[in-house]
Amino acid sequence: MRHLLIASALAALLPGVALADDLALVLGTADYATLPDFPRGAEVTDAVDGLATLGFRVMALRNGGAAGVTRTLNDFMAAVPEADRILIALSGRFVTDGRRTWYLTRDAAAPTLFGLDERALSLESLMQVLARAPSRAVLLLGVGTSAEQEVFDPWLREGVGDLDIPQGVTVLTAGPRNAANFLADELSVPRGDLSRLVAENGNVDAEGYLPRGFVFTPRPGDPALTETQAARAEETALWQGAVALNTIDAYRNYLSAFPRGRYAAQAQEGIDAILAEPNREQRLAEEALGLSRDQRREIQRNLSLLDFDTRGIDGIFGSGTRRAVTDWQQQNGFSQTSYLDREQIERIAAQAGRRAQQLEAEAERQRQEAERADRAFWEESGARADEAGLRAYLERYPDGLFAQQASEQLARIEGEKRQEAQAQDRVAWDRAREADTLAGYQRYLESFPQGQFVEEARTRRNALVEENEGAQETEEARAAEQALGLNALTARVIEQRLDALGLNPGEVDGRFDRNTRRALRNYQRDRGLPVSGFLNEPTLVRLLADTLGQSLQE
């Protein structure tokens, strides 16, 4: 099935076969099931009337999945041996490894270099087909701009790579709308000079075979435009309308007019698919909402806040989100379709808003309890201003209300001790402090077991031991935060939120320094979250909860 049967179908293209018809394959995809949508990608399938008028046999498929594309390609390959001119137009998402390029069907998942399957159509294979009609073969590609392109893995990027164009094949490239317009207008001009039309258009790039005065399309009235081809054009137009509507009535209308037509089997399959698809009406209703990726992310945040696991907040409604929606619908008395309508979206938002307020109220109660405990411990330890009490307080509350005061007092105590210490003891302690290693502090303790800085050396040694033991957890927390992919604007929003809560994150500059980490630890502690000082998805959802509950707007 690799490359949608093109390789096996090439064997049918035997030399010496008499050519008769003009043939066009048009695939356009705008609505992707899991990948981000590709605006205007399907418009190319609406631009084929002119080709049909010129006598082309047009096979067009709008938003086709792997199964539909395979059927259409099978029909196309069966007609290729009888074709005089061949036109292939593809508009949608492409991926490339630099040398090879694939066109992605509607149900394609995020591609990987060794994970491309029947949901990806090889341009190299298609150009082999076009190479059988040199000087009478055109490939038109509707591709996205660089701003719309995504990187799927380290080996693949979105777009079209360097094409090894066979001799006599013309390749035209444009944006999706410009490609559709060029197909509807310039490529539908009877006996138009393609080289001149490309030059005058200005929005289409050309490669490969394009000599001056190159005429690709026929003129109405040419012998090729027989009555049979006119009937085929009428049938094709009716079929394309049925595919565009994608309803039972549209398919039955086609079958009524052409009960034994070229697309009769596909029409019946379309009817059967509609009847067999559960919740089709709900799916179409959700698609009609035209939810943006940001709106989908907000819905996922709302569901996460309500403890329905969407398995990521990425704006893509995959199996995790659909399962979360289904669970929410079951809990709230809705039919379990996994698709949302406007009422359900607004109800989720309202519930999330209430939940956010409840969580904040609980967090405030916990914060006040923690503050009371902090103050009480300070009164029993650090408030007495002795070294043991101050160190006991900082050990219990390293980011506490009086942590800075305790640190300053300990610094003064250390200064007083330093003045009293003997010169040799002081030099050894300075050396250990400068090295700041376990071995350095251990040497000091062994050399000066009664030294003035024994307590400080033991405390710092124990802290380094704890830091080494917690290094892996810290790195895991740091990696989880980096995986969120926060930009500077989001980082400043988080610091503003912490500052508004009175957690003193330091300067709001989008950089997480020591003050920011302390504020995050306090925030996580007050809300019963795992305390690390680094952001993870549960902490981010809670921090941004005050923005939830608003109705979706585009």
Residue 399 lies in a domain: no
- 416 located within any domain: no
> What is the pLDDT, as a whole number, of residue 97?
85
Same domain for 316 and 433, yes or no, is: no
**13-27, 358-372, 379-393, 427-441: which range is least confident on average?**
13-27
**450 and 428, same structural domain?**
yes
Pairing of strands 101-104, 83-91: unpaired
Q: pLDDT tier at 380 (50, 70, 90 boundaries)?
A: confident
**Which one of 469, 498, 532 terminates a domain?**
469
Q: Note if the pTM is more than 0.85.
A: no
Lowest-confidence range among 67-81, 140-154, 439-453? 140-154
Residue 305 pLDDT grade (very low, low, confident, very high; cuts 50, 70, 90): very high
111 lies in the same domain as 201: yes
For all residues of the chain together, what is the average pLDDT? 84
Asked if residue 242 is part of any domain, the answer here is no
Same structural domain, 481 and 459: no
Phi/psi of residue 28, nearest 5 degrees: -135, 130
Same structural domain for residues 196 and 49?
A: yes
pLDDT confidence of residue 241: 87
Instruction: Tell me what pLDDT residue 225 has.
Output: 47
pLDDT (tens digit per residue) in 43-92: 999 989 888 888 899 999 999 988 889 999 999 998 998 888 999 999 99
Q: Is the pLDDT of residue 3 over 70?
A: no
Residue 551 has pLDDT above 70, yes or no: no
Domain that holds residue 351: 282-355
- The DSSP result for 371-406, as a single string, is HHHHHHHHHHTGGG--HHHHHHHHHH-TTSTTHHHH
pLDDT at position 532 is 87
- Under the banding of pLDDT at 50, 70 and 90, the label for residue 10 is very low
Do residues 181 and 32 share a domain?
A: yes
Note whether 427 and 456 are same-domain residues: yes
* Range 146-150 contact pairs with CB under 8 angstroms and sequence separation of 24 or more: 148/38, 150/36
Does pLDDT of 115 surpass 90? no
Domain shared by 180 and 98, yes or no = yes
Question: Over 60: is that where the pLDDT of 6 sits?
Answer: no
Q: Are strands 137-142 and 83-91 parallel, antiparallel or unpaired?
A: parallel
β-strands 156-158, 151-153: how paired?
Answer: antiparallel
Answer whether residue 224 shows pLDDT above 70: no
What is 314-373 written as a DSSP string? SS---HHHHHHHHHHHHHTT----S---HHHHHHHHHHHHHHHHHHHHHHHHHHHHHHHH
Q: Which of 469, 500, 527 is the last residue of a domain?
A: 469
Statement to judge: residues 443 and 297 lie in one domain: no
User: Quick one: pLDDT at residue 469?
Assistant: 66
49 in the same domain as 193 = yes
Express each pLDDT in 170-195 by its tens digit: 999 999 999 999 998 888 888 888 98
Average pLDDT over residues 506-519: 91
CATH number at 526 reads 1.10.101
What pLDDT band is residue 348 in, cutting at 50, 70 and 90? very high
- What percentage of the chain exceeds 90 in pLDDT? 36
Q: How confident is the model at residue 4 (pLDDT cuts 50, 70, 90)?
A: very low
Query: Do 331 and 294 fall within a single domain?
Result: yes
Tally of domains within the chain: 4
In a domain, 373, yes or no: no
Q: Is residue 393 part of a domain?
A: no
The answer as to whether 138 is a domain residue is: yes
Same domain, 48 and 143: yes
Residue 11 has pLDDT above 60, yes or no: no
Strand order in the sheet with 83-91: 56-62, 21-28, 83-91, 137-142, 169-174, 205-208
Mean pLDDT of 436-460: 86
Choosing from 469, 487, 508, the residue where a domain stops is 469
pLDDT digits (tens, 9 = 90+) for 228-272: 556 777 888 888 888 888 888 999 999 998 888 888 999 999 899
- 369 domain residue, yes or no: no
**In a domain? residue 294:** yes
